Every structure is written in structure tokens, then in C-alpha cells.
Structure 1
């Protein structure tokens, strides 16, 4: 490996290089991320993170293979990173926007993300990834549309609506973050309300506004639903209307009709809704899973499906859903959602090009989430190991110094529970171009959810009790998605590791992630060919062990002559210490 100084000059040289990408448009966005205390989603003064004054933030509306440039100005009072939940950052983990890959954008500065929606379609969202900021907002929708040459496997809807639903604390996210240091509050401090697109429940006295979508009788609409919350899975339904599930985070599904839909933290769905009822208003309802929530509870999110020209408000009882403690409902519904193997998506060839039921597994990770107290502080763990975020991003350390002194490679117990609880910075190797099987086992009282940046999951198995290798014979291909839930027992997935980089594998439960339920997977290819993994960007931020060199002192004022001796022409050029 070259010396750090050699890499520095490579980074500088990259400022003059560009990469041509076929068939993709260039999208340029400028975002100002700030704090607003006047929005009051729950009628109390609290800091809400806005983007260009909006909460939720603006839509990123792209098409397959488009290149998105997002110039993020941090107008907050603390560092910031934005991550793109489900956008796989093909060949380019430098743009992932998590603590393991990027130095944070400091207050009063800006940084431009450049990423490609390469070979993707579907429904996703973005959010701030550090400092517990997601609990304060800063999230927004992402659509990746089909190219014109690729048929969509359903009729063109009259309109599309982005519906970001999530739980919300009735206090500052900074206060909630501080609470995480207290064991009781860290584990048992539930959110206070469910928001729909940043708005409180319909007719709730604590809510300043409610969400409403206007539809025309007889027309069909696409709802892109995302769980942008902190802790709760939710069940979503619309009074007197049924929904047709057509897409999960970038994959088209066999179309099934449902009365209600469970959406777990970090997940996104597309459903089709036909306005086939009388022209009045109807309730849209989201209720949390694994907790009691009555019709009057603030934890019931309520919006309105408003028929054009309707003068009749929604009335009657809220539409009922499944028992919130019925884990089997969630599992059985997940099993009923199957990947459509015959339709195209980002490419014209069928989604079922991979024969996922007959692959050779090169690695198996068996991961169990649980809680622990380490050195007197509350922690969440994976296999009894709680992740410690270093000052230096892992990707930066990997590039400049082969990870030396920043993380431990391949000491994490990927298929067993560690003897005793520990905290540290651990990275597991993922075999490049190998099939990884991950079995997630949930030892928590809540429905956990998991996400692996850079890749999708092929969900192949669910079960109770302990997993064993012979259970592979029971596998079936259910769906392909970016975030999955584990409601109890175990959930098995396959992932094809064809994307070199340093990738975050985490719980989507915000407090679990914040308190250590994560690790990183290093997928390494020694070939420096940028067609396999792009080099660092020209605007690469430096921090931690690789601080940028100090700026030279300003030149003396013309009115104050310098007291320093003049430079000698025979002196060698200055050397920068790196």
C-alpha cells in the first residue's frame, strides 16, 4: 500500500477528473439544513431539523442511472451527515453518509454528495445519520423512476403521493439524546406521537396540522409509504379502501391486495389505491406495533383521504387493524409478499435473473441483537459486542493506513455470541463477489429491523426458536428489499457482495443503533480499477487521524511590512507533513 502522502496527491489530482456515466441525467440540488422552532408538530417549542425550510425535506425525484449532486450547507450548531436509505452507492461507499465512511460536515460549512441511482428503481428516503438527529427531522423522500424503455408492471396512476410516517418525541432531540446515557430512559422511553409527513393526528388538540391527500372518484393513485420513525413498526390502513402492494424498496412484487400493511422502521412500500367509494372523506390510520394505542391515543397517526368536491368530513370509528402484539400477522404478511420474478425493473431482463434459491453460500453471519450494561452505561449489542464509533471514519483509515490503529478486522464473532460483553470498533470481512447468508435473531422485546448499506437483501426464511443449518431446506424466496424486520425468532437473508467498500450493517431502531447495535462489513477488491470501486472524491473531507494540513498564515498587511527574512531562491519547496 502506498504511503499516506502518496494518497494525498491522488486525492488532489482527482479534482480534475470526471467519470462519464451512460444514460444518466445530472441533477443538482442545494440544501440548507437548519433548526426551526416555529414548526411545532406537537404544539410545543422544540427544534425541528429542516431542509430549505421544509419538514419533511424536499423530494429527490430521479430516474435510473441519474447522477445526483446534493450540496449540503450545515446551518446547524453541530456536525451533520446525510445518508440515503436504500440507495446502494454502487462502487462508491465514499458517498454513503455514515460515520464509518465520511467525516461530518462541520457547522457553517458545506459539502457536496455525488451519487448515482445506478441500476435501481423504487421508493426510498434520506435522513441525518449521526448525533441522534433523525429524532429531530431532516428526513425526506426519494423516488427512483423507471427509464422510459422499461415497462412498469401496473397501469399509470393518476398521481403519486409520498407518505412519510414515523413516531416523534414531544421534546428536543438533544434532550432525548442525553437521556440515552440513563439506563432506564435509554431502554424504556417511548415516543409521544405518530406524524404523517411531519404533521400530527387529525382532530388531535396537540397537533398543529394534519396530512390530507385529494383524490378524484374512480381514479387510481400510488402511495409511497416509508417508516421514517425512531422505534415503532406501524400498521397502516385506509377507511373503506383496500391497497395493492406493488413494490418494496426497489423491487416489484407480485401484486397482492391487503386491508392493512405492516411497515417496519426503515422500510418503504408502494401501494395502489383506487378511489372507488362515495365522494366523502376517509381516515388514513397508522398505529404502532407492540404497544397499546387506543383511538384517542396520540400514538395513533391519522390523516385524511379527501375526495375532490367532498363536503362530508370523515366520520365513524377508525378502521380497525390487527392485534398490535400479533407477531404472526407481521411474519405471515411478509411471507405473502413475493418478488415478481418475471418483470423488469431497472433493466429489461427479469428481476429473477439470479437463481437465488440455488446459490453457493461463501459466508454465514449469525447475528443476535440484545441489551447490556458496559462500564456502567446502557448499550445495545450484536453477539454481545457493542460498536464504538471512532473519531476517524473507517473508510478513511482503510484508504490511508490499511485501517491500522482505528479498527479491528475479523475479530468480531460473526457466527457466535461473544463470552462477556465488550465495546470496540470491529469490522468483518465480506467476500467480494461471494454470497453472504445473514441470520438475524431477535432477543429484544420489540420488533427489530436491519439494514446493510450498499446492498439489497433477498429474504429467504423466517422461523421460531434457534436457527440451524439444516433449516436451509425450508427456505423460499419471499422478497428483495433493503430493510427487513425480525419480529422474534430468526429471519434469514442472502446478499450478493458485488459492491466493494466499507458498509454499515445496523439496526434501524435509532436508539439501538446509537447505543451500539451495528458493525461494518469490508468488501475488498485489490484491483484499483475505478470501474470496480471509485477512488475518493476530490472534495474528500479529512478528520481524526488524518486531519487536513494547517492553513498557511495570512499574508502581512501592505501597511505592515513583514519582519520575516525574504525567502532564498535556493531553498527546496516546502513539504507538507501528512
Structure 2
């Protein structure tokens, strides 16, 4: 068992507090056994559903994880279904909801139960703490209205099921408008290929520039691939730096090109619009962790190739447009 650890606050921007991000060997060294490290930060201008987890080896798969959420506005629902906090899957043949579940041939153990009152509206926060599989979430006999995705408010979208990948979070509003009865909550692992939905941000980030593909100041192509479980970008796989990035800077690294490991850093000029085209060869989602910008989508999937292009800007940082193709 590993005796060192770190805790990462997933999707918290950490503007000005990178040292509290909790990413081992990137922003800090792992916390040694019997030692402590205080992570102090604020989540200004952020609200929604988040989570925290170990960022060392596979510790979060072993259980070091939890839910974190911030409220921002007056609720338009009667109550929260406080039990439905997370969905966990370590292998694709069974699922845990709030730590409870069953598997084929196993004991008839307890299942998670959520009690609701007929006629009321409930906000359910769905957090996938999966190590790998995705889930198809649904509630028998009910539709749900998506109001938040990964900490961002969305235009309300009514769905009868929702596909959730590792690390993703959604808030849905359930209206208990069916006859009083028991209804199954289903979270089926690895049952569908990645799909797209007509889900849009409630507030447009309104990044500057021409909303057209190829109209950025800088255009980057990133080819994402996987081989024997190892992910690569432009044929370079991630390798943990032997010295945390912040410590490299404190030790005298003057330019981004000096940072280790080689091939893992892309240098961007400030105050430029940057277009990222991500081409994937497998069926998996991409996650932009850390100081995340918001994206203005200008292009989406077509003819079997999923292309999502967005643009963002904040406090003089480079605007970023991301395009994903599959």
C-alpha cells in the first residue's frame, strides 16, 4: 500500500493558488507518511457539483475520493436528493450507487434507496467517480431535466437517460409526478459508445474573435491515442516530472521550454486566440483539468467525426478553442 498521497480538487480553477491543486509531481511533491499539508484556496465565481480525489497512483480507485459542491442561486426545486451523491465503477460488470450495489452471483446486499414525495421537484447531483467505465443513468418511468454539467449551468434539457464518463458531473431535476410506487434507478456500465447531446451553457462565455473554424491566431493539432492502456498526445505519453513543476520554477527554470519532462509542455503566447484540434483514435472523453477556461463552441460532430471547437479568455490569458474529432 502506498504511504504517500495528495488530494486534487477536480475542476476547481485554482486561479493564483496552483500550489493547492494537489497534483503530485506537477504542483507539489506527494505528502509523506505522518506529515500534513494545508491546501487553502477559494472558489470565486464557481458554483456547482465537483469532487476531490487522490492524485497519486490509483489511490482514488481504492477509495480516497469525495463530493464537493457550491451553491450560487436560489433553488428552483423543493429539495435535494441528498443520498444520490456518486456512482462508482471499478470494473464493467457491476456498479455502486452511494457505496451499495450487487453483482451477478453475489449476495442480495442492500441497495441505495432514495425517498421522494409525490409532486415535489428534486435536484440530483450525479458524480461519476469511476476509474474507467462510463454509465448510462436512468430512472424507470421518469424523465430528468439537466441543469448543470461539470460545474457549469446549462440550458434546461429534458432527457430520459444520461451517459456519464469518469470524472463527469451532472445536476438533474427530477419531478416526482408519477403514481406512488417503487421505481428502479439504473446505472448500467459500459453499455453505450460516446454520444453527443444538444446541451448548451446557460451563459455564453463570449470570448472574442471570429467564431469560425481555422480563424484563430494559433492553430494546434493534438492527436490523442492509447496503446496498451497508455495514453499519448502527438506520440508523447505523460511521464511524471522528477521535480514538481513549481519547484522547477523556484529552482531557476526561466522559460517554459526548460520544464521537464520534454514534450509535455506547449508554449502559448499571451493574449492570442488558440485553436486546439483533438483527434482521437479511441472511445474515451478528454478532460481539461486545472485552470479551466470556458469554451465558445463553434463546430461540432459531423459525418462520424466529432469536432467540438470552443474559445475562452480570462484575465489576459490565451484564448483557447478546442476541437475534438473521433
Structures share a fold, TM > 0.5?
yes
Match of 1:382 in 2: 233
Contact 2:86/2:128 (CA < 8 Å) preserved in 1? yes
Number of residue pairs the alignment of both structures matches: 313
SS of the aligned residue for 2:295 comes to: strand
Query: Structure 2 matches for 1:274-313, cutoff 5 A?
Result: 274-289=175-190, 291=191
- Report the CA distance shift for 1:207/1:124 in structure 2 as closer, same or farther (over 3 A): farther
- Report the CA distance shift for 1:352/1:89 in structure 2 as closer, same or farther (over 3 A): same
- Report the CA distance shift for 1:250/1:372 in structure 2 as closer, same or farther (over 3 A): closer
Contact 1:79/1:105 (CA < 8 Å) preserved in 2? yes
Contact 2:300/2:307 (CA < 8 Å) preserved in 1? yes
Q: 1:210 aligns with which of 108, 111, 114?
A: 111
Q: 2:19 aligns with which of 94, 118, 121?
A: 94
SS of the aligned residue for 1:163 comes to: coil
Query: 2-side partners of 1:207 and 1:86: how far apart?
Result: 37
SS of the aligned residue for 1:395 comes to: helix
Please state if 1:104 is matched with 2:30: yes
1:29-66 deviation digits (Å, cap 9, x = unpaired): xxxxxxxxxxxxxxxxxxxxxxxxxxxxxxxxxxxxxx
Contact 2:205/2:312 (CA < 8 Å) preserved in 1? no
Q: Which moved more, 1:206-215 or 1:388-397?
A: 206-215
**Runs of 5+ in structure 1 lacking a partner?**
1-75, 170-190, 292-323, 341-350, 412-422, 466-486, 501-578
**Runs of 5+ in structure 2 lacking a partner?**
318-326
SS of the aligned residue for 1:114 comes to: coil
Query: 2-side partners of 1:490 and 1:337: how far apart?
Result: 15
- Report the CA distance shift for 1:230/1:218 in structure 2 as closer, same or farther (over 3 A): same
Query: Structure 2 matches for 1:425-444, cutoff 5 A?
Result: 426-444=264-282
Structure number with the higher helix fraction is: 1
Match of 2:322 in 1: none
Contact 2:207/2:312 (CA < 8 Å) preserved in 1? no
Match of 2:291 in 1: 454
- Report the CA distance shift for 1:134/1:214 in structure 2 as closer, same or farther (over 3 A): same
Please state if 1:259 is matched with 2:170: no
- Report the CA distance shift for 1:402/1:355 in structure 2 as closer, same or farther (over 3 A): closer
SS of the aligned residue for 2:184 comes to: strand
Query: 1-side partners of 2:268 and 2:60: how far apart?
Result: 28
Residue 198 of structure 1: how far off its partner (Å) = 2.2
Match of 1:531 in 2: none
Match of 1:365 in 2: 220
SS of the aligned residue for 1:235 comes to: strand
Query: 2-side partners of 1:194 and 1:356: how far apart?
Result: 43
Q: Please tell me the root mean square deviation across aligned C-alpha atoms, in Å.
A: 3.1
1:449-483 deviation digits (Å, cap 9, x = unpaired): 32231113416132357xxxxxxxxxxxxxxxxxx
Residue 232 of structure 1: how far off its partner (Å) = 1.8
Could you tell me the TM-score, scaled by structure 1's length? 0.49
SS of the aligned residue for 2:311 comes to: strand
- Report the CA distance shift for 1:459/1:368 in structure 2 as closer, same or farther (over 3 A): farther
SS of the aligned residue for 2:60 comes to: helix
Query: Structure 2 matches for 1:403-422, cutoff 5 A?
Result: 408-409=257-258
Query: 1-side partners of 2:21 and 2:66: how far apart?
Result: 16
Please state if 1:352 is matched with 2:210: no
Q: 1:126 aligns with which of 52, 56, 63?
A: 52
- Report the CA distance shift for 1:107/1:77 in structure 2 as closer, same or farther (over 3 A): farther
Residue 380 of structure 1: how far off its partner (Å) = 2.1
SS of the aligned residue for 2:183 comes to: strand
- Report the CA distance shift for 1:499/1:287 in structure 2 as closer, same or farther (over 3 A): farther
Contact 1:436/1:497 (CA < 8 Å) preserved in 2? no
Query: 1-side partners of 2:305 and 2:128: how far apart?
Result: 19
Match of 1:84 in 2: 9
Residue 366 of structure 1: how far off its partner (Å) = 2.1
Match of 2:311 in 1: 494
SS of the aligned residue for 1:397 comes to: helix
Contact 1:366/1:439 (CA < 8 Å) preserved in 2? yes
Contact 1:455/1:495 (CA < 8 Å) preserved in 2? no
Residue 353 of structure 1: how far off its partner (Å) = 5.8
Structure number with the higher strand fraction is: 1
Q: 1:395 aligns with which of 242, 246, 267?
A: 246
Please state if 1:239 is matched with 2:144: no
Q: 2:88 aligns with which of 157, 163, 166?
A: 166
Could you tell me the TM-score, scaled by structure 2's length? 0.84
Query: 1-side partners of 2:162 and 2:262: how far apart?
Result: 38
- Report the CA distance shift for 1:243/1:357 in structure 2 as closer, same or farther (over 3 A): farther
Q: Which moved more, 1:83-92 or 1:488-497?
A: 488-497
1:297-319 deviation digits (Å, cap 9, x = unpaired): xxxxxxxxxxxxxxxxxxxxxxx
